[in-house]
Every structure is written in C-alpha cells, then in structure tokens.
Amino acid sequence: MQQTYASLQKRRTTVLLSSVLITFVYWFVALWYNNKGAYTKDLVVFHQLFGNGDKWLDLWQYVYQFTITVLLFWLLPYLITKYYLKEDFSSLGLRLNYNKQALLICAVAYPVVIASTYFSSHDPLIQSEYPLSKLIGTSWSVFVTYQSVYLFYFIAYEIFFRGYLQFGLKSEKAGTKEIIIIILIQTVLTTLFHIGKPTPEISAAAAFGPVFGYVAFRYNSIWYGMAIHFIMNIFIDLFTLHWLHLLPQKFF
C-alpha cells in the first residue's frame, strides 16, 4: 500500500515524540545514579526497589538496567508500531539482509575496533566506567553470563535508535537531504543519551552515530552496526579488566 502524506506525518510525529519521551523516562528509571565513586555507582530507582547491602547488587543493578532497556527500547516501540501505527515492525531495519559488502566491512572493522579499544581502555576515565560492574571479573562464567545478557541491551538500543527512530522518520522515497537530517536527529539523541559518561565515550557516540546510521540505511538493516557496537563493548570490558589487573582467574 502506498504511503500517504497523512500516514507519514502521523508516523513521524509519533516516532519523534515517543522517542524523546521514552529516552527521558529511561534516563530516570535506568540511568539516574548517585554515589558516583571511582569504580562503583548506584542506580537510584533500582536501590529504592531492592535495597542496599549485598555486594552482588552492584551487578544485579545492571541486569535490571538491561531489562528496562528491552522493555522501553524494544517492546514498547513494537507495541506502538503494531497496535497504534498498525505497521510492520520488522520493516524498520530489523530484517537481516545478507550483503557481502556489509560483511566485508564488518570483517575489516573488527580488528580496527579491537585495536582501538585496547588503547582507549587504558584511559582512567574509561576504566572508571567499564565494566559497569567490576564484579564480572570474579570468574569467566560471570563474565560470559553478563556479556550474554548485555547483548540484549545492545539489540534493544539499536532497535530503538537506529531502527524505530531512523526508519520511523524515513519516507518511502527519501532523498539525500532527508537521510542526512534523520541521521543527524539520531546522532543528537544518541549523543545526549551518553551525557554523564566519560568524555571520550561521548565523543565516540557523536562520531559513530552518523556511521552506524549510514550503515543501517545503506544496507537497510541495523544488525551490521549492532554487531560492531557489541563487539566493541565486549573488548572494552575485557581490556579494562586487563589494565586494572582484574581479569578472572577461574572459570566458576
């Protein structure tokens, strides 16, 4: 069915307003910290709900954060798209479109990303932030389990910003100017989302926002950028633990 002007405007208004509102709610329930020490900080809402005292709460608060991310950045946009806009959610860049060129880009990007994270993880500002919980250095089983749960955070993040927001604002016959404006909107929101993070990470968000945005539009899929984003953060955690001499010494 051909997209009408009215349906396009409804979708754009809904997507833009809901994206801003959801981001604000997310910050309150899943990014509001206090006790910002060098290597630990407390999610306010989480500790109001579950208390304090147990050292493992430092790890569980991030499982909570990842769960909130899935609910607000994945499930809620799905419900809005399916039941309010009555459109196909998978059309928002969520299909895994096989493309040899995109796979080649990923193959080239991985060693570059891994090398860059090795050096950037030596920055004390990055070390104070990552891993989010230093308890993942307790054992390799904790590390792997944490990264497996963390994966859903990145999937939800990419679905929301590079899928729901970007593709939700795009018209069927988008020109270069429209594409640039949409990627800029996405980049502004993703950069603001990182406020409170270390300065190098905010700069990286501003730099990679247009790159991941372009890749999503170029290959009509968010998954190639998501794979690079996730791998980048695994190695940030791994190398930071290395520099801090906190790498796991046992499997269990």
Encode the chain (252 residues) as per-residue pLDDT tens digits. 456 778 999 999 999 999 999 999 999 999 999 876 667 789 999 999 999 888 999 999 999 999 999 999 999 999 999 999 999 999 999 998 889 999 998 999 999 999 999 999 999 999 999 999 999 999 999 999 999 999 999 999 999 999 999 999 999 889 999 999 999 999 999 999 998 888 889 999 999 999 999 999 999 999 999 999 999 999 999 999 999 999 999 999
Q: Is 224 helix (H, G, I), strand (E, B) or coil?
A: helix
For residue 84, give the DSSP letter: I
Could you tell me which residues are beta bridge partners of residue 195? 197
Domain ranges of the chain: 5-243
* CA–CA gap between residue 196 and residue 207 (Å, rounded): 17
* Measured CA distances, 142 to 68, 152, 196, 210, 251 (Å): 21, 16, 26, 34, 8
Find the DSSP H helices in the chain: 5-30, 44-50, 57-70, 76-79, 100-120, 124-129, 140-158, 166-169, 176-193, 199-218, 223-243
Q: How many CA atoms lie within 13 A of 183 on its CB side?
A: 20
